[in-house]
Amino acid sequence: MKNTLLLFIIISWTLALQAQDKPAYVLYNTKGKKVKYKKMIKQLDQADIILFGEYHNDPIAHWLQLEVTQSLAPNNDLILGAEMFETDNQQVLNDYLTGRIDQAALDTLARLWDNYPTDYAPLVNFAKANQLPFIATNIPRRYASRLFRQGISSLENLDDEEKAWMTPIPFTFDITLPGYQAMLDMGGGNEDFPKAQAIKDATMAHFILKNYQKEATFLHFNGTYHSDNYEGILWYLKQAAPNLSYATISMVLQKDIKKLDKEHLGKADFIICVPENMTRTY
């Protein structure tokens, strides 16, 4: 009996070591120190608004988004929201959440991303099952595209209904922020290129705050570039509501995830480091 028990312990210990030898991700804080998942959740519990930055095709991000949502739900009044839903689709999303339409109707009526069924449906269905709000926060793409092609003045003549789907126009734009500066360089000096990104950030911040409720926790899902380095959405949130508490999550890809590369330090409060050869969802 003792030999059997000893053998079981040895096998379990060996399997545990093997599992640790090939982790799917390592979690770090902003200074590059490894952090346990439970400690992250404990700190996220204290935030009013959480921005979860993802790579859109990363399976670890999508799995962890659902895990974090489920972990926060017991102790928080959650409000979920996402870049992946445009504001003019809110009524259709509400109809699905309340059972007035089914998944087939949602597929038909809403502009869902191609990877919705695998990557975002679990979050929406969690909200539906638990009667949680799910907020469409992103500006309709056609208006961001119009700004890029025709400038901000092209949005000023929209009717009131259309203007209600975006941040109030005109909106504050700080071209000196490093993220927008990088886009300015990529766009050959065309300021409307980063401004089209900024109106997305400003609109998402606007609708997060519009739907935030006191004593609740707003958990928002967005691409990493919209919140990395405490810029983007977070910059706009802090301009409008500096007294709320915020937390950010980002993710990075590295060949070796045992130590966070220096270039990734300071990207977010918590950084999910994933092997660069991780399978993509598309």
Of all residues in the chain, the percent with pLDDT exceeding 90 is: 90
State how far the Cα of 204 lies from the Cα of 206, in Å rounded to an integer: 5
Q: In what order do the strands lie in the sheet with 217-223?
A: 26-29, 270-275, 246-254, 49-54, 217-223, 78-86, 134-138
CB-based contact 255:264 (threshold 8 Å): no
The tokens describing 271, both together, are 């950084």
pLDDT value of residue 5: 47
Reference 124, options 83, 158, 93, 167; nearest CA is 93
Given a contact cutoff of 8 angstroms between Cβ atoms, the answer to whether 239 and 209 are in contact is no
Burial label for 14, CB within 10 Å (0-12, 13-18, 19+), is exposed
Map residue 243 onto helix, strand or coil.
coil
Write down the residue that tokens 């992946």 correspond to: 84
**Which domains, ranges and CATH numbers included, belong to the chain?**
25-275 (3.40.50.11550)
Which residues, other chains included, contact 30 with Cβ-Cβ below 8 Å and sequence gap of 6+? 265, 266, 267, 268, 269, 270, 271
Model confidence over 21-37: pLDDT tens digits?
A: 789 999 999 999 999 99
The pTM of this model reads 0.92
Q: What average pLDDT does the segment 137-157 reach?
A: 95
Average pLDDT, stretch 101-120? 97
Highest mean pLDDT among 2-6, 20-24, 202-206: 202-206
Q: What is residue 235's predicted lDDT score, i.e. its pLDDT? A: 98
pLDDT value, residue 187: 84
Q: Which two tokens stand for residue 31?
A: 């200074």
* 242-253 confidence digits (pLDDT tens): 999 999 999 999
Q: Where are the beta strands (DSSP E) in the chain?
A: 26-29, 49-54, 78-86, 134-138, 217-223, 246-254, 270-275
Of 10-14, 149-153, 163-167, 189-193, the poorest mean pLDDT is in 10-14
Res. 16: pLDDT tops 90: no
